């Protein structure tokens, strides 16, 4: 008998898993709403031209495209070499491009500074592997219309707050600025035309290490003197823990990076510290080699880190130029995407447990009116109620119910007053 599995890279979720995911989402939603963000919803598909407008980075290559309507076999053959003629829609590969389109469509109906929540599935034609799926949930907050660092501060504060509420205290934010990266590359001597490729290589620093990154730069034909200068900078003696202040940030940069962008980062740190209760420690860490590969970032970029794991739990940055693609004029925007799938996996069974359910186990001969009256009585107490006919193996039934989040059970016989029966704990 053939197995019946979901499509490769996609998953089913059993009731207990689904309940756990929803509990995490409920906490995140509550904290984001508390910070003044409002949830919106966009279609799962967008027009092909919008998804492939050069603003989605490498994700555009992973888009699932939808065959244009009305094409017959001859039409498909004629358009086979032109994806834009073959398809007219595509599944969204992230939530940022749909948000930009949404804002352009509804700008007149939205506040001057719009704070959005989006929690929804996205699809990418990834190579499935552990922790990487073709369908997964993104959990985004964005602020559109605010060009000041207040926007970055709000995003970071709300996200740190959400992790605290989930019990993941002690998180921090790795932060950089694309303007810092550009100034660094200019200082080393990389030509402007080669900088995008250089950044792609630098983004692999955590995986390849200094030797690997330098070797790849030389293999791709980067300016030799610039590669030498970059290697020398990487191998210089440096302190592991520089303070998040002007001197600390400056100590991790080459000469030539302007004071304005450093002051910008320091200001964000001071604001976040105040928002977090004014503790002496700024929950930000400057990382001069944080790149975040999306080409649409124009300023501040950041990733959410937690000491319990080596990978990030989310990230984002400022993308002031994206919405202008739809409106014809730039609109300031900055966003943050929480790594929901990673977060759920990290929390595991500790993601809260809503054990308010009662299993109503009834004999086969209980009349339907009596059964439904008993259920109504339990519902009135605030419990969720599952009806189960008494089996031969009651223990197995209760074990299954406990795995699904039920905490108690009631047995009911024909003619019995359910009001006189006290729920008993399972286990």
pLDDT band at 208 (very low <50, low <70, confident <90, very high): confident
In 152-200 the beta strands, taken as DSSP E runs, fall at 172-177
Both tokens of 253, joined, read 């940069």
pLDDT in tens, 63-118: 998 888 877 787 777 777 777 778 889 999 999 989 999 999 999 999 999 999 99
- The reported pLDDT for the residue numbered 31 is 96
Lowest mean pLDDT among 53-62, 88-97, 144-153, 282-291: 53-62
- The reported pLDDT for the residue numbered 3 is 75
Instruction: Please give the average per-residue pLDDT across 351-374, as a whole number.
Output: 84
Share of the chain above pLDDT 90, in %: 42
Residue with tokens 């050069």: 54
Instruction: Please give the average per-residue pLDDT across 135-163, as a whole number.
Output: 95
- The reported pLDDT for the residue numbered 134 is 93
Lowest mean pLDDT among 25-39, 144-158, 317-331: 317-331
380: CB partners within 8 A, 6+ apart:
none
Flag whether pLDDT at 352 surpasses 60. no
What SS3 class is residue 133? coil
Flag whether pLDDT at 139 surpasses 80. yes
Flag whether pLDDT at 55 surpasses 80. no
Residue with tokens 């900078």: 233
Domain 15-350 fold is: BirA Bifunctional Protein; domain 2 (3.30.930)
- The reported pLDDT for the residue numbered 2 is 67
DSSP 217: H
Q: Would you list the domain boundaries of the chain?
A: 15-350, 358-425
Instruction: Please give the average per-residue pLDDT across 376-401, as a whole number.
Output: 90
pLDDT in tens, 215-264: 988 988 888 898 888 888 888 887 666 788 888 888 888 887 888 889 99
pLDDT in tens, 158-181: 999 999 999 998 899 999 999 999
Flag whether pLDDT at 280 surpasses 70. no
CB 254 within 8 A of CB 184: yes
CB 255 within 8 A of CB 171: no
Chain-centroid distance of CA 171 in Å reads: 16
Residue 405, phi then psi, degrees to nearest 5: 100, 10
Share of the chain above pLDDT 70, in %: 96
Residue with tokens 């990389």: 190
Cα angle 405-346-156, degrees, rounded to a multiple of 5: 115
């Amino acid at each position: 008998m053939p197995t019946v599995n979901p499509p490769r890279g996609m998953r089913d979720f059993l009731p207990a898993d689904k309940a756990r995911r929803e509990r995490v989402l409920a906490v995140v939603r509550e904290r984001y709403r508390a910070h003044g963000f409002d949830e919106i919803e966009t279609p799962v598909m967008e027009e092909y031209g919008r998804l492939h407008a050069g603003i989605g980075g490498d994700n555009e290559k992973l888009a699932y495209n939808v065959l244009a309507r009305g094409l017959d076999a001859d039409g498909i053959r004629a358009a086979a070499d032109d994806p834009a003629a073959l398809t007219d829609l595509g599944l969204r590969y992230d939530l940022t491009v749909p948000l930009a389109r949404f804002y352009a469509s509804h700008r007149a109906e939205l506040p001057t500074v719009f704070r959005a929540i989006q929690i929804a599935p996205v699809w990418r034609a990834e190579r499935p592997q552990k922790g990487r799926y073709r369908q997964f949930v993104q959990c985004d907050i964005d602020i559109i219309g605010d060009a000041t660092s207040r926007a970055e501060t709000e995003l970071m504060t709300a996200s740190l707050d959400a992790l605290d509420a989930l019990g993941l205290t002690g998180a921090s934010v790795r932060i950089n600025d694309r303007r810092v990266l550009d100034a660094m590359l200019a200082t080393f001597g990389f030509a402007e035309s080669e900088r995008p490729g250089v950044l792609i290589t630098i983004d692999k620093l955590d995986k390849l290490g200094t030797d690997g990154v330098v070797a790849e730069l030389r293999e791709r034909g980067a300016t030799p003197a610039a590669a030498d200068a970059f290697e020398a900078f990487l191998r210089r003696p440096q302190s592991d823990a520089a303070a998040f202040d002007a001197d600390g940030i400056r100590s991790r940069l080459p000469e030539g990076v302007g004071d304005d962008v450093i002051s910008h980062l320091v200001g964000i740190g001071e604001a976040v510290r105040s928002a977090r209760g004014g503790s002496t420690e700024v929950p930000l860490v400057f990382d001069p080699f944080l790149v975040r590969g999306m080409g649409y970032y124009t300023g501040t970029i950041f990733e959410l880190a937690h000491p319990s794991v080596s990978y990030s739990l989310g990230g984002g940055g400022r993308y002031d130029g994206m919405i202008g693609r739809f409106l014809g004029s730039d609109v300031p925007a900055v966003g943050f995407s929480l790594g929901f799938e990673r977060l759920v996996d990290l929390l595991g069974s500790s993601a809260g447990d809503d054990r308010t359910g009662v299993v109503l186990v009834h004999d086969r001969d209980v009349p339907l009116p009596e059964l439904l009256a008993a259920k109504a009585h339990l519902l009135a107490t605030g419990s969720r109620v599952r009806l189960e006919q008494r089996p031969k193996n009651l223990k197995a039934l209760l074990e299954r119910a406990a795995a699904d989040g039920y905490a108690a059970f009631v047995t009911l016989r024909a003619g019995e007053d359910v009001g006189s029966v006290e729920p008993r704990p399972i286990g």
